[in-house]
Structure 1
Amino acid sequence: MSARLMANPQLRPTLAGRPRDEMPTPPRAMAASAQRGNRRRAMPRWAKPAIKTALIVAPILFLLGAAGAAWKRPSLAETVAAAHDGLLRSTSSLGFTLSEILVVGRNETERDTVMDALGVRRGEPILSIDLAEAKARLEELPWVSAASIERRLPGILYIRLAERQPMAIWQHDRQFTVIDRAGRPLADAMELARRGNQRIDTLPQVIGANAPQQVQSLLTALEQAPTIKPRVLSASWISDRRWNLQLDNGVTVKLPEGAGMPMALRQLAEMDSKGKALDRDIVAIDLRQPERAILQTSATAQLPGWEEETKKKPPGKKI
């Protein structure tokens, strides 16, 4: 009897008075939450606190190790220096040593002068070279106006120089010094001549105690008279006020002071182009008066120097 009852499909077991197929199905959200809970429980409960502890303890251990290393040395600076030396030795063993020095733009500066200023030697670790200090030492050299240095690993030091241009030879106290446009001394002219430098033969001479400080304004004015500039052999700074020019044909040109000098030189160039004034039998031209030129012949001219600002004007022909 009981077996037939259990086999009857119309009879189903109940839970708390309700049939099993009438129980509600769990929502998907509840199922997903259960799965996430299972995944979180996959990590042991002690793992998260252990990770936090490791993150705190690791920096402390590192600092303690550094402090222990520093304790063995008199100062922290020596510790840092020792670490730096060890790093350089390591890079040197890997081939990062100075093997070649390339210099571009060197014309007047001597090779040994560049090497002395650099203060480096082949075979030393290339990473140990202080590029900023080497650049500053190079730019202290008389001929060098600017320098740049870079490493080309593993072993090349590349240097580019920009040199000052010689513009005149300053004659003072029986010395001859090559100067640039700004009047800065560059080298001894006699020494350059002994070395066979032929460039200095083309430079004009400037004479006077303060001539270098005034040479830039003179060169600027001469550039506005391109036919006169190549004919200037020397220029004398007179009474600390103005210039006298000595031309290649022996003619002395007295220029006015200040802003009138460029105009006077243009006037001289125009006179020479139109009337060949510099080809005449004259020894001097006085351009100190605006819009007026006085040509002096050998019979009326004074000796070069002409520091006669308070003397009587010599007679001459006015044009």
Structure 2
Amino acid sequence: MSARLMANPQFRPTLGGRAPRDEMPAPPRAMAASAQKGNRRRAWPRWTRPAVKAALVLVPVLLLAGAAGSAWKRASLAETVAAARESVMDASGALGFTLNEILVVGRTETEREAVMEALGVRRGEPILAIDLAETKQRLEELPWVSGASVERRLPGILYISLSERQPMAIWQHDRQFTVIDRAGRPLADAVELARRGNQRIDTLPQVIGANAPQQVQSLLAALDRVPAIRPRVTSASWISDRRWNLQLDNGVTVKLPEGAGMPMALRQLAELEATGKVLDRDIVAIDLRQPERAVLQTNATAQLPGWEDESKKKPNGKKT
């Protein structure tokens, strides 16, 4: 009796009893990666991507349409542009781009109130509406500020970096004491800073004379080359609008020549101090106005304080 074998349409022959490649189970690592990928895909609803694309397209279109609609009611192009900008700023604020925090770095001498007044901003306003260039200019107009940078750190932080001028001397004039920098620019009232407890004021030398601030830069540059002398200078007087008299911490007055001879005279004084400790002697003044010559005045031959540049003669011919 013969038996008919029915072919199974889903039957697939195998080689050596092995299952075909497409029917082999996936390794566990691949299954875990596939599951994680599926979870990531299911983290956002399917409608999220189309909605975001539509928002990116529709928001600018609506803003422009609103601005164009208001243009028919405006009398000039400037008003139309201003209205469009205001609409964009209001829209950015509604999206969360508002000023929430102000970070200022580099501020040492500048008062916090002065910085806030120069900024002219308020918390909660659209951060995109802040004019960075104008804000930077107002900050650099502050006496202590030599440079400023202003950045937006979205969504709500205004980051400000300040560079401040360094106080170098106190200018005494008209019974006032003004802190100045190396270039002679006025920075602040020295008495007010001392009242607030600023300890740097006590370390600054004084400069005296109507035009002393304009000449202090060359004096400080010359003193920088003689580090042994500079710390001992307590004050400097600009004499006859031509030259300097230095007052040292031991009461000795040093008369410097005018013009290009001043740096050379200071080096000469530094050499005399290094070799002979001339500043430790019982003297009241050192005249360095003549090239390569130092005239030392002791207590016995000293003139009165504030002695003049040129000696005056009495009627009988004697010098004072």
Asked if these proteins are the same fold (TM beyond 0.5), I'd say: yes
Task: Give the deviation of 1:298 after TM superposition.
Answer: 1.4
**1:114 matched to 2:115:** yes
Deviations, residues 212-251 of structure 1 (Å, cap 9, x unaligned): 0000000011011100000000000000000000000000
CA distance in 1, matches of 2:111, 2:250: 36
CA distance in 2, matches of 1:207, 1:157: 42
Q: In structure 2, do the counterparts of structure 1 residues 238 and 78 end up closer, same or farther at CA, with 3 Å as the change threshold?
A: same
Deviations, residues 234-277 of structure 1 (Å, cap 9, x unaligned): 00000000000000000000001111111111111110111110
The 8 Å contact of residues 178 and 185 in structure 1, kept in 2 or not, is answered as: yes
Instruction: Tell me which residue corresponds to 1:242.
Output: 243
**1:191 matched to 2:192:** yes
Alignment-mate amino acid for residue 260 of structure 1: G
Task: Give the deviation of 1:70 after TM superposition.
Answer: 2.1
Provide structure 1 residue ranges, at least 5 long, that are not aligned to the other structure. 1-62
Task: Give the deviation of 1:126 after TM superposition.
Answer: 0.2
CA distance in 1, matches of 2:240, 2:95: 67
CA distance in 1, matches of 2:135, 2:237: 39
Instruction: Tell me which residue corresponds to 1:307.
Output: 308
SS at match of 1:220: helix
Task: Give the deviation of 1:66 after TM superposition.
Answer: 7.4
Deviations, residues 182-204 of structure 1 (Å, cap 9, x unaligned): 00000000000000000010000
SS at match of 2:179: strand
Instruction: Tell me which residue corresponds to 1:126.
Output: 127
Alignment-mate amino acid for residue 94 of structure 2: S
Alignment-mate amino acid for residue 296 of structure 1: Q
The 8 Å contact of residues 243 and 256 in structure 2, kept in 1 or not, is answered as: yes
Instruction: Tell me which residue corresponds to 1:104.
Output: 105
Instruction: Tell me which residue corresponds to 1:289.
Output: 290
**1:232 matched to 2:236:** no
1:138-177 map, 5 Å: 138-177=139-178
Q: In structure 2, do the counterparts of structure 1 residues 65 and 282 end up closer, same or farther at CA, with 3 Å as the change threshold?
A: closer
Task: Give the deviation of 1:308 after TM superposition.
Answer: 3.1
Larger radius of gyration: 1
The 8 Å contact of residues 67 and 83 in structure 2, kept in 1 or not, is answered as: no
Q: In structure 2, do the counterparts of structure 1 residues 134 and 287 end up closer, same or farther at CA, with 3 Å as the change threshold?
A: same
Task: Give the deviation of 1:68 after TM superposition.
Answer: 5.9
The 8 Å contact of residues 67 and 80 in structure 2, kept in 1 or not, is answered as: no
SS at match of 1:283: strand
CA distance in 2, matches of 1:69, 1:215: 60
CA distance in 2, matches of 1:66, 1:129: 21
Alignment-mate amino acid for residue 80 of structure 2: T
The 8 Å contact of residues 204 and 232 in structure 1, kept in 2 or not, is answered as: yes
Q: In structure 2, do the counterparts of structure 1 residues 105 and 258 end up closer, same or farther at CA, with 3 Å as the change threshold?
A: same
CA distance in 2, matches of 1:132, 1:310: 58
The 8 Å contact of residues 244 and 257 in structure 2, kept in 1 or not, is answered as: yes
The 8 Å contact of residues 238 and 307 in structure 1, kept in 2 or not, is answered as: no
Task: Give the deviation of 1:139 after TM superposition.
Answer: 0.5
Q: In structure 2, do the counterparts of structure 1 residues 179 and 308 end up closer, same or farther at CA, with 3 Å as the change threshold?
A: same
Task: State the TM-score, normalizing by the size of structure 1.
Answer: 0.76
CA distance in 2, matches of 1:190, 1:143: 16
Task: Give the deviation of 1:65 after TM superposition.
Answer: 9.7
Count of residues in Structure 1 that have an aligned counterpart in Structure 2: 252
1:13-32 map, 5 Å: none
The 8 Å contact of residues 144 and 187 in structure 2, kept in 1 or not, is answered as: yes
**1:74 matched to 2:75:** yes
Instruction: Tell me which residue corresponds to 2:136.
Output: 135
SS at match of 1:246: strand
1:272-287 map, 5 Å: 272-287=273-288
Q: In structure 2, do the counterparts of structure 1 residues 72 and 171 end up closer, same or farther at CA, with 3 Å as the change threshold?
A: same
CA distance in 2, matches of 1:108, 1:249: 31
State the identity %. 83
CA distance in 1, matches of 2:302, 2:244: 17
Instruction: Tell me which residue corresponds to 2:46.
Output: none
Alignment-mate amino acid for residue 127 of structure 1: L
The 8 Å contact of residues 101 and 158 in structure 2, kept in 1 or not, is answered as: yes
Task: State the TM-score, normalizing by the size of structure 2.
Answer: 0.76
Q: In structure 2, do the counterparts of structure 1 residues 65 and 88 end up closer, same or farther at CA, with 3 Å as the change threshold?
A: closer
Alignment-mate amino acid for residue 126 of structure 1: I
Deviations, residues 92-115 of structure 1 (Å, cap 9, x unaligned): 011100011111100000001000
SS at match of 2:115: helix
Instruction: Tell me which residue corresponds to 1:252.
Output: 253
The 8 Å contact of residues 149 and 158 in structure 1, kept in 2 or not, is answered as: yes
Provide structure 2 residue ranges, at least 5 long, that are not aligned to the other structure. 1-63
The 8 Å contact of residues 238 and 305 in structure 1, kept in 2 or not, is answered as: no
Instruction: Tell me which residue corresponds to 2:202.
Output: 201
Task: Give the deviation of 1:64 after TM superposition.
Answer: 11
Alignment-mate amino acid for residue 306 of structure 1: W
